[in-house]
Every structure is written in structure tokens, then in C-alpha cells.
A = this chain, B = another copy of it.
Amino acid sequence: MALFVEEEELVRFKHKIFSALENDPLFARVPGEELSLERYRELTFLRCRKLFEYDFLVLEEILANPLKVIVLISCLGMYDWSLGTKYLLNYQVFKDSIESSGSERHAKFIEQVESMEIFGCFALTELSHGSNTKNIRTEFVLHSPDFEAAKFWVGNMGKSATHAVVYAQLHTPDGQHQGLHSFVVQIRDPKTLLPMPGVMVGDIGRKLGQNGLDNGFALFHQVRIPRGNLLSRTGDISAEGKYTRSQAALGGFAGHLVQRESDDHRHVCGQSEAGHLHCHSFLRHPAPVRPKQRRGDSSSGVPNAAVAPAALPGSHLRPGLLLPGPLPAVCGVPHWAADEGQGRPAVNRLGDIRNDNDPNCTYEGDNNVLLQQTSNYLLRWMSERLQGHPVSSPMGSVDFLNDYDAILHQTFILPDAQDLMDSSASLRAYKWLVCYLLRGSVQKLRKQEESGCAEFEAKNNSQVYYCRSLAIAFIEHTVLEKYHKHVHSPSTPVNLQPVLKHICSLYGLWSLNKHTAILYQGGYLSGENAGKLIQDSILELCSKLKDEAVALVDVIAPPDFILSSPIAKADGELYKNLWGAVLQSPKSLERPSWWSEFCNNKPVVGKLRSRM
């Protein structure tokens, strides 16, 4: 199963990373150890530096198998998301944005990152408006007009970055506003780690999770940077201050589509097994999300230039585009679905794992914003369709909308229970559900517009129960479809098929069951038995999978050392392990240092009553 879920090469690569960390004393963790913020930051930095020495991935390897990048990041993240993110932000996000938005003259930055002469961060978000790029207020000569324009949340900026890719509005001497651009800005002296003149840079302090990562802020006071530090892919400035827009800035729709699909997939990976397989099946064909195409260099598949959303320079720089292709899928796995927890001793690390996962729900904008983008994407396809154009996206996830009318006429044929053991039944229901919610959303929007709402308000008023439900249903349909195809493909080993099919059916029915009300409301389901049959089938599938559950989790589980959680050890001896860890925790048996406060200093009961 492990070799089916991941190629042997990847399993080996994973094992290599895990072993290296486990055998390196710098990566050892003391159960229950209390780290100060300062020490946790230091340790994370030292571990990050060590990763340069391990240099797990050289370029040739990445080119031969791009999936290794995801495996590396997810292995580091399973060890500690602070470390995974710190490494990724410098070595991938910072470097990648210079590589892709810059030109030859920026090559020196790349070399400096690779040798750790400089350390980078990615300064997009500001104090008063997360990832809302339209409202960015930082300007060039770099200047933050007030504290609300402070760059904020920026990972690595707090303590360790020497350079930042800063997003700022570009105003040229002729008074023109040229839109959002990115600049390489030196924020600290690499010789001393002290701030550069005019840059007020600091740490936003302890966070709910990922405290090994130093998220920071920066205010710029008329900071003049070399003209060449403008990352010039979308436009450049001459010595005379004249702005020239580059051809690359006039984006096509195809890149956007692929990215949109990729973003959707980010939401999708909620179920660990299905999601895990899905990420991999999606990324086994990574060609379409390669940088060149992602950034709109390809014009193939553009259905209609009128709907291209990137008419202004910089507007293609949506947060979704700013992270390397694989990240959304990687981050997607834990996400909302993992956002649950139990009150437990810290030594078991359930709290850390939950807290470290929280930021994964906000990268690239709040999940709700991404859902809105997803429904907008579907609505655009519907207006394409209305104009007689075929619906066809590069990865095929919307192609079933060509059958929109026929699908809406379908109803649930009451199958016998056996039929529901196959995921085709859920898949059919999902197609109907997406079409039904799409119709409802179009009608709701139209009604809003007819009653005089502006587009922005109409969109806002149509999210709950309409566009938002639509986006979620579409995403779930996409996961289910991919997974269904994968599981039913001839290349799937015969001996694995039964259990994989059960997982697929369970995912389908369990997800679908959250929408049963709409299925009834719209008449796809009718009668008491339909709903009962779905529920009974879910319970039956659970009981079929129950005995396999532990083995299935073991397929994707990281080793004990990486999880570092006594109750989660593979030996299953949870009480023994917890007991051992508690006894080994520092000071577990000592009386408190403040014991004499109890023994020798008794309260005078009621002494302070009169003071109130």
C-alpha cells in the first residue's frame, strides 16, 4: 500500500530525511521540555542552517522528480511546521519570487540565498489588511505612510531575515500609479543583523502556533533602494524614471485557470487518505503548474479574452500565485479538517500540532476568500456556456458542466445498498449538487442585481447557502472524482482495490451526507428510505474499514521520532508511554519552588473585604 500511495523512490527519500533528522542530536526533542521563545527561535534557526548542510535536494533531483519538493516540505513540517515554513519561506518563496519576477540582474541574490549569505522573507501582508493586495499602501521610494501600512505577519522577518521581497505600489515621477510591484529590500545588515537605516523592523512576538518561526513587521521611512532591485518581469523603470510595461504582464487566462484549479485543490485535501492520494495523483502531473505556464506565458486554452481577470499589471499577483505550485496542496492536507483537538498533556503534542496547523488555514487569504474565488470561477464558466462556448478547463475539473441541463433532470435512483458501496452513486449525486447550487447561485445573484445591489454587494449577499456551498460542493466533487478514477484505474494493484474502493465510497457518502438537505430540497432525493440508505451505508462502510484503520494510518504515518507524541507511538502502549513521559518531564516530582508561600504565609480570610 505504501508503495502504491507513493513511489518507491519517494518512500526512500522520505526515509532518508527522517533518518537524518533522527540521527542528528540538534534535532532531538526532550519530552515536555519548556522552550523560551528566544531558545525555540534559535533552535529553529540552527536546524534551518543545518538543512543547508544536508542539502536534501539538488536541482537535478527536483527536475527528475518534482514531487520530492513536496515530500521534503511535508517531512520537515511533520517534524515541526516552524522549521518547514522557515526553510520554505527563504529557500523557496523568497528565492522563487526573485527568480520568477526578476531578471538576470537579480541573479546575485539567488546565489547569496543559496549560500546563506543573506536570508529572505516575503513581505506582502500589512497590519490592516492581510492578503488583500488591492489595498497595499507601501510605496516606492519605500515608504509606509502610517502604522496601518506596516508590513506585518511576515515569516522570517522578525529576527533572521536580511532581505525581503516587498510588495509596494509603484508611483512614477510623472505622477502615474503603476500598480503593485515587488522589490528586493535589504532590511538588516548581514554582518550584524542590525536594521538598515530607515527600516523599523521587529518581531510580532509569541503566536498561537509555529513559535519557532519569527513572524515580523517592518515600517519604511523614505528608504531609497537601488532602482535595479525592482523585480522587473512585469515592468521596468529607466534611469530617467520612465516606466515600461513588459509583455509578460499581459496575462492569459490559461495560467490563471490552472492556478485556479490548483487553488481549489488546496481546499480539497481534507480526508487524510483520500486527500493524501489526491495530492499525489494531482502532482504526479505537475507540468501544468510549472512556473512558466502558471504565470501566463502560455496562451493555449484561453476561452475568451474578455473574461481574463488579469487586465492590470500586478493584478495577477494574487496571493494564490505567489507561492510555489505544490505548497497549496501540501498545506491543504491538514487544514480545516485537522482543526480539532483534545485537552491533553502538552507532552503528547496534540496542542502543538493543532496550533501549528492553524496558520495553514490562512495562508493566501482566509479559506472563505478562496471559496469565493472558486465560486467566481464557476460562475464565469457558466456565463461562457451561456454564450455558447464549450466548458473545458486544462485539468478537466469543470468539463462535466457541459451536461448541466441533463444533469439537473436526474434524480437519485433508489439503489440497493450494494450499489452505494460503489462511489459512482455519490459521484453522480455530486454532479447534480454542483449544477443545482450553480443554478441557485446564478439566480440569487441575478435577484440581488435586479434589486439594485452593486456587484460587490451582490456577491457578498450571495455567499451563504449559495456561492459558498457551491464552492465546497465543487471541491468535494473534484477530490472524489480524481480519487474515484485513481482507484478504478487498471494500474491499481488488484489486492489493494477492495480497501481503496471502500475508502473512496466512504469519503463520497460521508461528504455527500452533509448536503442531504439540499438533495431533498431540490428533489434529487425523495422518500424516507433514500436518506436512511445513505446513513446505513456509511455505517456499514465504517464497520468494513474498522479493522483496517490502524494499518491504513500506518501507511502514511510519520515515524515515532517525528511525531514525538507518547500516546501516538506505533507500539500502541499509550498508557505506558504517557506514564513514562510524564515521569521524565522536568520537575514532575519536585515540590514547587514557591512551597513556603503555602506553608509559611497563610491568608487572613476576608482581610480585603472592607477595601472593596
Contacts and interface: CB of A to CB of B under 8 A. Distances in A.
Given A127-B575, A517-B520, A582-B205, A361 B343 contact: yes
Contacts of A190: 598-599
B575 A345 contact: no
A528 interface: yes
A64 interface: no
A203 interface: yes
A355 B603 CA distance: 30
Interface residues of A, number: 109
Interface centre among A575, A601, A602 (most CB of B within 10 A): A575
Given A343-B207, A595-B192, A521 B521 contact: no
B208 A41 contact: no
Interface in A197-223: 200-209, 214, 217
Interface in A27-69: 32, 34, 36-38, 41-42, 45-46, 49-50, 52-55, 58
B193 A114 contact: no
Contact of A53 (B188, B513, B516, B607): B607
A217 B582 contact: yes
A344 interface: yes
Given A45-B598, A598-B160, A345 B528 contact: no
A53 B593 contact: no
A37 B38 contact: no
Contacts of A362: 342-343
A455 interface: no
Given A190-B599, A341-B208, A592-B160, A38 B587 contact: yes
Nearest to A194: B591
Interface string A223-246: 000000000000000000000000
Contacts of A204: 345, 582, 588
Contacts of A192: 591, 595, 599
A411 to B, nearest CB: 13
Contacts of A206: 32, 34, 345-347, 585
A342 B355 CA distance: 9
Contacts of A16: 612
24 contacts: A16-B612, A34-B206, A42-B593, A45-B594, A46-B594, A49-B598, A55-B609, A128-B575, A148-B575, A192-B591, A192-B599, A201-B589, A206-B345, A207-B346, A208-B346, A208-B351, A342-B358, A351-B355, A464-B539, A513-B517, A517-B517, A520-B520, A520-B525, A520-B531
